[in-house]
Amino acid sequence: MASELKRLIEQVSREKGIDRQTLIQTLEEAIKSAIRKKFGAKLDLDVTFNEEYGEIEAFQFKEVVEEVSDPDKQVVLAEALKLDGESEIGDELGIKMDTETLGRIAAQSAKQVIIQKMKDAEREVVYDEFKSRKGEIVNGIVQRVDKGAILVNVGQAEAILPQKEQIPREVFRQGDRIRSYVFDVKKISKGPQIVLSRTHPNFLIQLFHSEVPEISEGIVSIISAAREPGSRAKIAVISKDSDVDPVGACVGMKGTRVQNVVQELRGEKIDIIPWNMDPAKFVVNALAPAIISKVIVDQTNRNMEVIVPDDQLSLAIGKRGQNVRLASKLTNWRIDVKSESRYERQKQVGYQSLLQIPSLSSELADRLYESGIGSLEEFLEAAMVELEDTTRLSASTLEIMRTEARILLQKDEEEPAPEASPEEAQSQQEMETDPDHVQEG
């Protein structure tokens, strides 16, 4: 067993890439645990691998006493003297365990430890490989569907595609080939858990990386992406080379490149948007194909009021608010879409409401309106510092005006609200059907 154990340790260490010393330490601990399980948990043991002889040695330590009260930890002087002629009361005596008994325990423990260490090493290799592939697309074969989740064979490991990471209405069966995005890699007791996704915006980005050479070469970059999986998506692109059209590169000859991505995503419509460093122009591009009349930017709150011709309102908002919602996610700006007729009515109503403040002149109302404060509500919500800077009035004077504005608002609230126009009613109904949509201002 001695030379066989040594050869086994050397072989496993070399072939499986397991550190030799780690293997020996684990084996020593396993044998110590097995001895305690067989002979008693209280034993004071020292188990070591003898490098010279290639064998495991185990010593049980006992205190030399006149009278034994704990046989597991004590030995009488007479017995101790037989083992060591120089033993005295109070000495700690190391008694080597029977080689035959130890040999059987060592052989069994070695087998278990080596099998376990090989499994651990293989899991570690898989974990390290997929951890480095996080954020990439992998190809796999569907093994089975378990409670909605799809288990996928990705080579050395089995990955999971949770139900929430699947494109709606997409169906896979056992044996189907599947492409997915490596969303996360976790360490759990059973080994590495590889979590896949087909709904993540980065899956869309990586698909374009594989289809568009200009992206993989770094000439064209995808700045951001927003998706409603299985329905519609938007990506914002830019080119480092003025001679290369980023949108055209992504579309490809006769639309072949974008169609390959659309096909992989089961018909998900994809809008390719040219990125612009000017946020207003970027938002206008993101709302295409709708025509935009005017954009009012609120930099502090990252809010944009987008005014469109009346016949473009439904197109800008999109079905159930989808177009404006995706544009908002893509640009990271809150977008409020209004028709020209509604904007003009609100502008007049808001401006006229400011003029109703008794102590506010028309000149100050113009100044407030030009700074973006266009109604009694906005006048009350604005920070005092902003009002002081705009009007050049003192805080005490402005507070008087605010009191007058509150009184006017209170009167307005007591009166019945006017009926909404047909366009307003339609746009409001479209937005209310989807609770995620950013409501119009």
Q: CB of 391 within 8 A of CB of 354?
A: no
Q: CB of 224 within 8 A of CB of 330?
A: yes
Q: CB of 257 within 8 A of CB of 251?
A: yes
Single-letter amino acid, residue 192: P
Q: Quote the longest CA-to-CA distance of the chain.
A: 115
SS3 state at 196: strand
Per-residue pLDDT of the chain (441 residues; tens, 9 = 90+): 456 777 877 887 787 777 788 778 878 888 888 787 777 777 888 888 888 777 778 888 888 888 888 888 888 888 888 888 888 888 888 888 775 666 677 667 767 777 776 777 777 777 777 888 888 999 999 999 888 899 999 887 888 999 999 999 888 999 999 999 999 988 777 777 889 999 999 999 999 999 999 999 999 999 999 999 999 999 999 999 999 999 999 999 999 999 999 999 989 999 999 999 999 999 999 998 899 999 989 888 899 999 999 999 999 999 999 999 999 999 999 999 989 888 887 778 788 888 888 888 878 887 888 787 888 888 898 888 888 888 888 999 999 999 988 888 888 676 665 555 555 545 444 444 343 444 333
Q: What residues contact residue 387 under an 8 Å CB cut-off, 6+ apart?
A: 373, 379, 393, 398
- Mark residue 348 as left, alpha or beta (left: phi above 0; alpha: psi -120 to 50; beta: remaining): alpha
**The tokens of 356 are what?**
């109703």
Q: To which H or E segment does residue 11 belong?
A: helix 2-16
> What sign results for the dihedral spanned by CA atoms 219, 223, 226, 232?
negative
DSSP 257-326: HHHHHHHHTTT-EEEEEE--SSHHHHHHHHTTTS---EEEEETTTTEEEEEE-GGGHHHHH-GGGHHHHH
pTM listed for this prediction: 0.63
SS3 state at 437: coil
The DSSP secondary-structure symbol of 115 reads H
